[in-house]
Structure 1
């Protein structure tokens, strides 16, 4: 994990059994948040301890939070390319995510982040980035892109926070039913949707269309 010290100050650093937590302050505007790097156990026996530690970490923090790394747990059967799926740990993992009010940033570039070295390969999505609502309100334009896998059997994830110009405290999206009553509403939607088409992946192009709209 690396941080540009020209941009950020690092405060306290805390280590757990499965995480390292950094308290970070943006030098430009003083915004403080927590960056947590996790490594979940691959073996089944310590997974319960990992999830308990993750839940405890989220419940005690008050600052905006972003958690990323190799969780070594799937969230659904679609995150694996075969039917060898155990739903116990995904169920508990999703329960922790919901209880902590976290949201996963959508990944673009590929569906899976890990592959084994066998002849008949198994592909899984084990790496992800989770954020608290407060952190995402600060960086609503954030995107996550899968980079090329070079040495590791895991795919590096590149997080782009956007320009970070929002001050927070406002909803990410609000829809007013009264908009349907405007004569030019549907024409405006059509014009914006067809005129906005930038982004490297279909997901990024869709996100840009929604933001412009």
Structure 2
């Protein structure tokens, strides 16, 4: 599937073993398609005013979207100065984009495999992350592993990006808080540090839900890293009691 723009195109490919839906075209800027949810492909204008119209159109689309939602493509703008070389200030266009994402209640996952998706100028000195996959919370619940990766560029000034979603989850297990975590020295302060490090803006309920989701990921990673040490300590104590 290809969404055409005035100066380029976006190509979206799904694993044919998983494709179950149909393509629906909406103008020459976006394409939506069904795949256990809704996917919207975007090719945004370089003009800030025209992008503002696109952000409004996406907001209208969200009001009709009751299924898990993924928005992807070339947005022709970045969210933060760190996503663009030689840029240190938060611009109005960046604020517009972040405000749109927060209002749409989309998650912007980190990019693996590189910091930027576009390069241009003399010797490719200019670079930015203007290509993204973003998804709604229900999409996060639909799949057990979501990862956005940058792939090698093949004759283009853009790097292809890949959204890997792992296996579809039909019997998703509940998140479990382990009691032994509380007995690990420094655990509570670590949770506090994680919580304070999450920079999330938007409505209060959206901020809380997003930060809880991010905290859940951190806890799972930390638990996996420390479980072996805790089990070894447990076995050591049992051995002392039995001797």
Fold conserved between structures, TM > 0.5: yes
CA distance in 2, matches of 1:104, 1:91: 15
- In structure 2, what is the equivalent of residue 151 of structure 1? 155
For residue 166 of structure 1, report the CA deviation from its aligned partner. Answer: 4.5
Counterpart in 2 of 1:49?
Answer: 53
Q: Which residue of 1 aligns with 2:26?
A: 15
CA contact (8 A) 2:144 2:167 kept: no
| TM-aligned CA deviation for residue 51 of structure 1 | 1.2
Equivalent position of 2:192 in the other structure:
none
Please tell me whether the aligned partners of residues 114 and 155 of structure 1 are also in contact (alpha carbons under 8 angstroms): yes
Distance in 1, matches of 2:181 and 2:17, equals: 47
Tell me, in whole angstroms, the C-alpha distance in 2 between the residues paired with 1:46 and 1:183: 53
Deviations 1:158-208 (A, max 9, x none): 12111223545x76x5646x4444589x8xxxxxxxxxxxxxxxxxxx98x
Q: CA RMSD in A?
A: 3.0
Give the number of the structure whose residues are more often helix, by fraction. 2
- Residue 72 of structure 1: aligned partner: 76
Contact 1:116 1:123 in 2 (8 A): yes
Distance, in Å, in 2 between the alignment partners of 1:183 and 1:148 is: 42
Moved over 6 A (4+): none
SS for the counterpart of 2:78 is coil
- Residue 146 of structure 2 is matched in structure 1 by 142
Q: CA separation in 2, counterparts of 1:211 and 1:8? A: 35
d(CA) in 2 for partners of 1:11 and 1:51? 24
1:35 aligns with 2:39: yes
TM-score relative to the length of structure 1: 0.74
Call closer, same or farther: CA 1:155–1:211 in 2, change over 3 Å: farther
TM-score by length of 2: 0.65
CA gap of 1:182–1:109, structure 2 versus 1, over 3 A, is same
Matched positions, count:
183
Whole-angstrom distance in 1 between the partners of 2:184 and 2:132: 43
- Measure how far apart 1:149 and its partner are: 1.0
Report what 2:210 is aligned to: none
| 1:102-113 correspondence runs (5 A) | 102-113=106-117
Aligned counterparts of 1:57 and 1:211: Cα–Cα separation in 2: 38
Distance in 1 separating the partners of 2:145 and 2:222: 8
Instruction: State the 1:50 CA deviation.
Output: 1.4
8 Å contact kept, 1:148–1:155: yes
Cα separation, 1, equivalents of 2:126 and 2:142: 37
How far off is 1:150 after superposition?
1.6
Instruction: Give the number of the structure whose alpha-carbon radius of gyration is greater.
Output: 2
For structure 1, the residue ranges without an aligned partner over 5 or more in a row are 25-31, 187-205
Residue in structure 1 matched with residue 131 of structure 2 by the alignment: 127
